[in-house]
Structure 1
Amino acid sequence: MKRKIGIAGLLILLTTVSLQAREFVDYVNPLMGTESTFEFSHGNTYPAVAVPWGVNFWTPQTGENRSGWIYAYTDEEIRGFRQTHQPSPWINDYGTFSVMPISGDLKVSYKDRGARFSHKNEIARPDYYKVQFDNGTVTELSASRTGAVLDIAFTPGKEQYFIVDAYHGGCRLAIDKQNRRVTGYTKNNCGGVPSNFANYFVLEFSHPIKDQGIQINDDLFPGKLVGEHDRVCAYLQFDVPEGEKLTVRVASSFIGEEQAWLNFDREVKNKTVADLKIESAKLWNSMMGRIVAEGGNEEQMKTFYSCLYRVLLFPREFYEFDKSGKPVYYSPYDGKIHAGYMYTDNGFWDTFRAVHPLFTLVYPEVSERIMQALVNSYEESGFLPEWASPGHRGCMIGNNSLSLITDAWMKGIRSFDAKKALEAMVHQTQAQGREASVGRNGFEEYDKLGYVPYPDYVEATAKTLEYAYSDWCLSRFAASIGNVSIAEAYEKKSQNYKNLFDPSCGFMRAKNKDGEWIEPFRAIEWGGPFTEGSSWHYTWSVMHDIQGLAQLMGGHEQMGAKLDSMFNAPADYNVGTYGFVIHEIAEMVALDMGQYAHGNQPVQHAIYLYNYIGQPWKAQYHVREVLNRLYNSGPKGYCGDEDNGQTSAWYVCSAMGFYPVCPGQPEYVLGAPLFQKVTLNLPNNKAFVIDARNNNDKNLYIDSAKLNGKKFTRNYLTHDEISSGGELSLKMNAKPNMKRGVRPEDFPYSYSVYKP
């Protein structure tokens, strides 16, 4: 039977077809978060042209060589196109080099060769980048795992040069004029690597090299073919006919030049920019397509998939494939070549919270390899990594590698050596590495006193709280593999958080080694015993025992009032031991959300704690406030550092409707979904749907819920409920339902209620 379709119906049909035809990668804006400075971060990101978890990324470089601020949206010149491994401007880069086309007079130094550009002549996508400089020269590029292809259209009538800049820090460049090639290596790094570390790279050009030269430090040597020194650049001159493009194919390896050529042959040989773009887009769409969001507006879709893009960049795959196709890697820990998997460029202080739990749910095959890499890191260095880039780096605090392992294990990811992992986890809590962030800083005092004393150790209170959570993780893991003695010992230590709670003020505080409170105490004071925050932010860092924290505060009502006051208090601060307004302080003040500082990680879970005390509607309200107010897809898209995907993962999880408050416990705490429908296409051929069809800006509260057709009152979902597939159907309302989710049996896990 045929039916007539009215104009309105036709428009709806066409819109649906249009949305279905659009690829996920089309929503992504890699420029999100790039308008940042040292003083104020809107993300501190750069536009990475890459594949998910790629060995190398490529990005336009507007900053100086070796500067952590690679690309700033407000800059007006591009100095090169940089192969980068940088996870954060604060950590900086390693093994990096750049290339730059020059039309006109030869200018080799990055200080002189910058070309002006406008964003209106720039296209930035995960799979492709294109810019036309003001002088008319056009550069296009796309990337593979270890390589890239660039097309250069030089300005007609101008001299044509191409610069290869190996930076400073020890490097070598060799020009093979006959075969139109350049080979080299660069050793630049910011620490955390063995003495034999190098990134070996190879380039091949589509057109003959007309002339060439080498610049060593600041001295130019025309005609020279080989340069080896602290700082080396090569320049190549071409005579590409008008209407043709110079194609540059490049690949690299941390193993050696032979492996670099093997990567070259596999990934970029005879390929075009268009070829790589198609391959890259396919990979991005495949990975992003595991989370299908529907029913949001254009800006929400852009923000969601731009955030998901950031989540899927790190940690970086640090392994390559040998001649037989087996994974091998250069170890950034012992400097040897090993079979198997290695990942790097990740700060677990940030990413244990939501990035890795998201992997365990949606990308478990990646999580499997990461767990194997963690065990490999321990065997090669004697410690689990906490901040790797590419080896151990001295940054941040805690033993959050234990969270990753436990969370993966408790969710069924078990293709790694559990006994070796337990050995590594215990050792991580009983030793100190060369860097304070490796191992457990203050472990002897922590075990003796039940807390880390201040001022003997900086950030002592924050460390105590993070250690207590990690001890809970270790206890859970040990119990699950049958080691009762270790489980019991660390279960007891997981309660050490109580030793630093002061009931007279309701905050976590610092104690000295004699057990005395450090005076004076100001909850708004940053630094000192805390990490990039104040007691307002760290008091909530008891992810494994929120019920226990509530009891310390006097009960659910008192804890609810304390949470309320965090959002209602003035955004006052004391710079404390920092001595100046660090960017995290400035960002908290700018948010105008009281003492809630979403721009940094320690407090990002706090909104969801209302679910543990029978006030879930407050979590729903604040979640939606943050989603709508603090994120957008533009260059000022974040409210603080993006940090290896964590601030993005908060958005992705929260926009879906849930958040992993306590990794290690296979649960996800409910918030308020942003979209009318989200489908998780899980790798076990299961699908889980969150359906909130009447969801909108006004209807932000969960009025009622059904899980697979049955009434559902809990404030959390289990991992099995999602991974088994099914549907969570939500009825949303403009008014909060203060009778739903208020019973103790509706609350998520807390140690004090549900002991292991």
Structure 2
Amino acid sequence: MRKRSSSLFFIFMGIISAWAFQKPGGDLADYVNTLQGTNSRFELTRGNTYPTTALPFGMNTWTPQTGVNGDGWKYQYFKDSIRGFQQAHQCSSWSNDYAVFSLMPVTGKLKLNDRERASGFDHDRETAKPYYYQVLLHNGVEVEMSPAERGAHLRFSFPGDEAAWMVLDGYTGTSEVRIDPEKRRITGYVRNGRGMHRIEGFKNYFVIQFDKPFQAQGTWENRKNTQWENRLSGEGEGMGAYIGFRPGQKVQLRVASSYISPEQALRNLEQELGGDRKLETTKKRAKKIWNDHLGKIVVEGGTEAQFRTFYSCFFRASLFSRKFYEIDGQGNPYYYSPYDGKVHQGYMYTDTGFWDTFRGQFPLNIILYPEMHGRYVSALLDAYDQCGWLPSWSFPSEAGSMIGNHAISLLADAWAKGVRTFDPAKALEAYFHEATNKGPWGPANGREGWKEYFTLGYVPYPDVREATAKTVEYAYDDFCGYQLAKMSGNEFYRDIFSKQMFNYQNVFDPSAGFMRGRHKDGSWVRNFDPYEWGGPFTEGNAWHYLWSVFHDPEGLIDLLGGEENFNKKLDSVFEVSNKVNVGTYGGKIHEMTEMQMADMGQYAHGNQPIQHAIYLYNYSGQPWKAQRRLRNIMEKLYSYTEDGYPGDEDQGQTSSWYVLSALGMYSVCPGTDEYVIGSPVFKKATVTLENGKKFVVSAPENSKDNVFIQRASLNGAPYTKNYIRYKDIAGGGILEFEMKDTPEKERGTGAGDRPFSLSHSGEEW
């Protein structure tokens, strides 16, 4: 009885606290929980994240490791032991990781293998922040980590009654270690990860500097668990090292790495973690960097849970793409190219899959960091020179994963928003090459079915896997090619791509009301079931891909027979059964399970194809429906906990969807300068721009119930449009919403209030 009374008291106090909580106080970085989304497994994803300790867009990240070497699920919240602390780069459990090595403190008898050396831990003895990770292991060692851009600072506090060891594990591929007891240093390299055999000379050189003398040392390898006592160097598969220390010491390790050379690894160490710096210094610096970064968006007027969710998502959105360049002795950027294996001057970025991130992650970045974004899109063309192909999934080189040729989306979007760091003619040439060839790696390197797409106007199924999904995404990409050509005055490529950007219409079956698989002879694939996953679709079904017409929603409205039919169809996504036909997958994949858990009909927010769809009500005269549904999704499907995501987080995309949507907008069609308006979560959000100006979204009457926009103004003038332009954001100002708990069904319904659609743009082709 006492326990029940106590619980009711704390629930009551929590409600009072939530009502009273209006503005985050203290350090914004402390609102971030890097354990968000870590309670994931193969069968069910709650984010597929790991507790990342890193700086914004840093080259390396660090994380505890609960899985075996080579397991993509490197940290799972429900596991109860840690095997090591990794330098990591993983952006998806499904793509695994590369350039990995791990460090693990061991007490008592020396244990080397990742299974044997594992130590238990408890989450109530664990701290997981962007700038600092800490855990007290059951073996008695307290582990602490704080990040630099290309390294990290670690501290192992050993108990005083047992032998103390540090084990370096070379992970899954070839590695080399060299122990220098006099300098208290270990150097070497690792070469691991999928597809790395294609990258000539790829190595991740590392240097580990200790602050305590070695009492013992040796090398080992993790295939047969062979150990060589007192041997100071070794090279081979899974080669590692171990060091002994006096019991009871606090041992600090400064670690850095380089893809260029051992000398550059040492330079990175000195540049970022040099001198006799203590972990507290690194921690303080990392915390300031994160506070400054997160402070670029200050939100006010929400619950504490909303603040924690917002900043945890903002953190995760700020890790990708990662810097792959380093700084030479003269302060200039240069990089080892993962595409041609040579060293080049300039900037390079990696670890992103455009099928995910073109939608929201890059449109968020270009608001906050246009200078970095300009470097990024310029580097896309450098990658083209070095590889012969535009990247589609860089990890760290071209993997060709997923579908579409979405590098052109980034290039067109940058140009539409005023970024002029690349030659548009060269970009169009590169994209034309991409669109008229099939590359050697994966479905998204070049174009599968490109000849049929150009001659038939669609990709035929089953001749080509996922053909209908590819058709609609190719059409959007061709629109982006058209846009870039039009904006840069290139009539040749404008004419070419204008012929394909309506090809989505060729896979729409008006008798079924869906996009469908279509044979080469023009007939529809028989036995159509809109609930069937796979086949002509990618990680989804016909309910999801009907809406993938980012550049022409009003053209889709016309196909569906007008606004009334369109709105009924969009309503029905949320109203029909959430049943699943596993189709060509042959069994349930996690995306199916996540859609059913969400219990929103066929709305599968846990994966990318339908994440924009709710915003389409803004094109069809019913924007209030978008406002209500968006707020429901942000409230129901996101949190800052280990169960915080409704599916794969995917290199910052799902987090970016939340950040943009919580601000009250989303990038439905990158390649234009528009962000479509939704319903902001907070009473006020202040975005500090790179140019020093501030863009404010103000909604003073906002609340859990007041989700509907009654009226809006931009810089004091009435604003009826359902979108805002990038220039209005980048120029600074105030977008103010009057919010109520009943929909205003007249606002934003005029023809001039609707966002861009190709069919109704007034252009001629």
TM-score calculated relative to the size of structure 1? 0.97
Determine the C-alpha separation between the residues in 1 that align with 2:710 and 2:154.
Answer: 53
**Partner of 2:59 in structure 1?**
55
Q: C-alpha distance in 2, partners of 1:416/1:277?
A: 37
1:214 aligned partner: 219
Q: Are residue 281 (structure 1) and residue 281 (structure 2) matched?
A: no
**Match of 1:7?**
none
Check 1:300–1:256 CA distance in 2 against 1; reply closer, same or farther (3 A cut): same
* Partner of residue 377, structure 2: 371
Q: Which amino acid aligns with 1:74?
A: F
Pairing 1:705–2:712 present: yes
Matched-pair contact (CA < 8 Å) for 2:180–2:232: yes
CA distance in 1 between counterparts of 2:138 and 2:193 reads: 33
Q: Give 2:81's match in structure 1, choosing from 72, 77, 81.
A: 77
| 1:97 corresponds to which of 77, 98, 101 | 101
State the partner residue of 1:299: 305
Which residue pairs with 1:163 in the alignment?
Answer: 167
What runs of 5+ residues in structure 2 fail to find an aligned partner? Answer: 1-15
Match of 1:499 in 2: 506
Deviations 1:263-287 (A, max 9, x none): 0111112222111111111221222
Among 615, 618, 628, the residue aligned to 2:622: 615
Indicate the SS of the match to 2:703: coil
Q: Is the 8 A contact 1:168 1:232 kept in 2?
A: no
1:632 and 2:636 aligned: no
Indicate whether 1:132 and 2:136 are aligned: yes
How far apart, CA to CA, are the structure 2 residues paired with 1:23 and 1:473?
40
1:70 aligned partner, one-letter code: K
Offset of residue 706 of structure 1: 1.3
Deviations 1:78-103, CA, capped at 9 Å, x for gaps: 10000001111101101100001111
Q: 3-state SS of the aligned residue for 1:204? A: strand
Q: Secondary structure at the match of 1:629?
A: helix
Describe the SS at the equivalent of 1:717. strand
Alpha-carbon distance between aligned partners in 1 of 2:520 and 2:598, rounded to the nearest angstrom: 37
Give the aligned partner of residue 579 of structure 2. 572
Q: Would the aligned equivalents of 1:149 and 1:271 in 2 still touch at CA under 8 Å? A: no
The whole-number CA distance in structure 1 between the counterparts of 2:572 and 2:477 is 28
Return the match for 1:141 from 141, 145, 152: 145
Give me the whole-angstrom Cα distance separating, in 1, the residues matched to 2:425 and 2:293.
32
> Would the aligned equivalents of 2:23 and 2:300 in 1 still touch at CA under 8 Å?
no
Encode CA deviations 1:401-425: one digit per residue, 9 max, x unaligned: 1101100110001112322222212
Q: Letter of the aligned partner of 1:247 in structure 2?
A: Q
> Residue 175 of structure 2 contacts residue 240 of structure 2 at CA under 8 Å; is this kept in 1?
no
1:258 maps to which residue?
A: 263
> Partner amino acid for 2:754?
F
Q: Match of 2:478, SS?
A: helix
Pairing partner for 2:319 from 291, 298, 313: 313
In the alignment, residue 29 of structure 1 is paired with which amino acid?
N
In 1: Cα distance, 2:287 partner to 2:411 partner: 31
Moved more, 286-295 or 604-613: 286-295
Give the partner amino acid of 1:460. A
1:427-486 residue CA offsets vs partner (Å, 9 max, x unmatched): 111111111221111111111110111111101000000000000000010111111121
On the 8 A contact 1:468/1:493 being kept in 2, the answer is: yes
TM-score with structure 2 setting the length: 0.96
- Residue identity (%): 49
| Residue 175 of structure 1: how far off its partner (Å) | 0.8
SS in 2 for 1:90: coil
Which residue among 347, 351, 366 is the counterpart of 2:353?
Answer: 347
| Other-structure match for 1:184 | 188
Distance 1:483 1:195 in 2: 37
Residue 28 of structure 1 corresponds to 32
- Kept in 1, the 8 Å contact 2:424–2:485? The answer is no
The match for 1:6 is: none
Aligned-pair distance for 1:236?
A: 0.6
Q: Is 2:546 the partner of 1:539?
A: yes
Q: How does 1:381-420 map to 2 (within 5 A)?
A: 381-420=387-426
1:421 to 427, 432, 435: 427
- Give the SS at the match of 2:171: strand
Displacement after TM superposition at 1:19 (Å): 4.8
Q: Tell me, what secondary structure is at the counterpart of 2:594?
A: helix
Secondary structure at the counterpart of residue 692 of structure 2:
coil
Which residue of the partner structure matches residue 433 of structure 1? 439
| Structure 2 Cα separation of the partners of residues 440 and 428 of structure 1 | 7
The separation in 1 between residues aligned to 2:114 and 2:182, in whole angstroms, is: 27
Corresponding letter in the other structure for 1:213: G
- The answer for the alignment partner of 1:558 in structure 2 is 565
Residue 120 of structure 2: which of 116, 119, 122 is its match?
A: 116
The one-letter amino acid paired with 2:383 is S
Q: Is the 8 A contact 2:428 2:493 kept in 1?
A: no
* Greater CA drift, 557-566 or 264-273: 264-273
1:601 maps onto 2:605 in alignment: no
1:168 Cα offset (Å)? 2.6
Q: Give the counterpart letter for 1:668 in structure 2.
A: Y
Contact 2:106 2:139 in 1 (8 A): no
How far apart are the structure 2 equivalents of 1:21 and 1:120? 24
Cα displacement string for residues 108-165 of structure 1 (whole angstroms, at most 9, x for unaligned residues): 0101100110000000100001111123210111010111111111021100100011
Aligned mates of 1:251, 1:418 — CA distance in 2: 37
Q: How many pairs are equivalent?
A: 741
**1:359 aligned residue (354, 358, 365):** 365
1:196 corresponding residue in structure 2:
201
Q: Deviations over 1:583-618 (max 9, x none)?
A: 000000110000000000000000000000100000
Q: Whole-Å Cα distance in 2 between the matches of residues 342 and 220 of structure 1?
A: 39
Residue 122 of structure 1 aligns with an amino acid whose one-letter code is E
- The answer to whether the aligner puts 1:648 opposite 2:648 as a matched pair is no
Q: Distance in 2 between matches of 1:358 and 1:364?
A: 10
Q: Aligned partner of 1:260: which letter?
A: A
RMSD: 1.3
**Alpha carbons 1:503, 1:552 under 8 Å: kept:** yes
Match of 2:519 in 1: 512
- C-alpha change, 1:601 and 1:313, in structure 2 (3 Å) is same
1:660 correspondence with 2:667: yes
> What is the distance in 1 between the residues matched to 2:400 and 2:25?
46
Partner SS for 1:602: helix
DSSP-derived class of the 2:126 partner: strand
User: Are residues 755 and 161 of structure 1, via their aligned partners in 2, closer, same or farther at CA, if it must alter by over 3 Å?
Assistant: farther
Measured in 1, the distance between the counterparts of 2:517 and 2:488 equals: 35
C-alpha distance in 2 between matches for 1:239 and 1:449: 73
Do 1:99 and 1:162's aligned partners in 2 also have CA atoms closer than 8 Å?
yes
Identify which range, 645-654 or 419-428, moves more after superposition: 419-428
**Superposition deviation, residue 394 in structure 1:** 3.5
Q: 2:70 aligns with which of 66, 73, 89?
A: 66
Inter-partner Cα distance in structure 2 for 1:358 and 1:605: 14
